[in-house]
Chains A and B, each alone.
Chain A
Amino acid sequence: DPKIIQKPKYLVAVTGSEKILICEQYLGHNAMYWYRQSAKKPLEFMFSYSYQKLMDNQTASSRFQPQSSKKNHLDLQITALKPDDSATYFCASSQDATEVFFGKGTRLTVV
């Protein structure tokens, strides 16, 4: 059974629209993350949360907003979507700052 659930697996969006990527983890971890992987760049850190508190933000654009409604949830809202946002977005979690485990990803295509 997957312990980090990401929904949806695939997502197609129109330029300028808004989407929310869902992530839930059932590993009992206190930290959650978002990473992005595209053909042009290696896996890229975006955000980290610990106990629902933002710890680090390496995303330059405010169009990307994480949302944590519960300790084991960390959704990612993306507004004003652009074709350059097309990538696979991975949610991850860990207990403290090491041993990071990744979900299967949401592949986003912006047309």
Chain B
Amino acid sequence: QQQVRQSPQSLTVWEGETAILNCSYENSAFDYFPWYQQFPGEGPALLISILSVSDKKEDGRFTIFFNKREKKLSLHIADSQPGDSATYFCAASWGSSGSWQLIFGSGTQLTVMP
């Protein structure tokens, strides 16, 4: 079963718009949620992460909104740039418990049109 779900599968926005990528999870024990960015032929790169004790985390143009009650989170990319075109993965783990595995969603392929 898919423990971490992402939507949409693909998203196209214009340069300067805010892209919104969604993620939901099933296991209420998850408490650490990183987002990774992956370009073709490269490995996933850690972009931003949040712990379940917070409801928002910002880093420059990237913001995570987290709703623990609904088991949902979203990544907002403000002022999207063509260089942001990549696949974005939401992941989850029991970080505070010293869990050793990340559970990944299937990704959102983002295209930013100039």
Contact = CB atoms under 8 A, between A and B. Distances in A.
Interface of A: 4, 31, 33, 35, 42-45, 48, 50, 55-56, 58, 90, 92, 96-105
B114 interface: no
Interface of B: 32, 34, 36, 41-46, 49, 89, 91, 93, 95, 97-107
B86 to A, nearest CB: 14
Given A42-B106, A98-B95, A55 B46 contact: no
Contacts, number: 59
A58 to B, nearest CB: 6
Contact of B49 (A33, A50, A58, A98): A98
Interface of A, helix, strand, loop or mixed by DSSP: strand
Given A42-B107, A43-B89, A44-B104, A97 B44 contact: no
Contacts of A103: 43
Contacts of A35: 102
A90 B103 contact: no
A102 B38 CA distance: 10
Contacts of B42: 104-105
A42 B45 contact: no
Given A90-B43, A99-B49, 9 more contacts: A33-B100, A43-B89, A43-B91, A43-B102, A45-B102, A97-B97, A100-B34, A103-B43, A104-B43
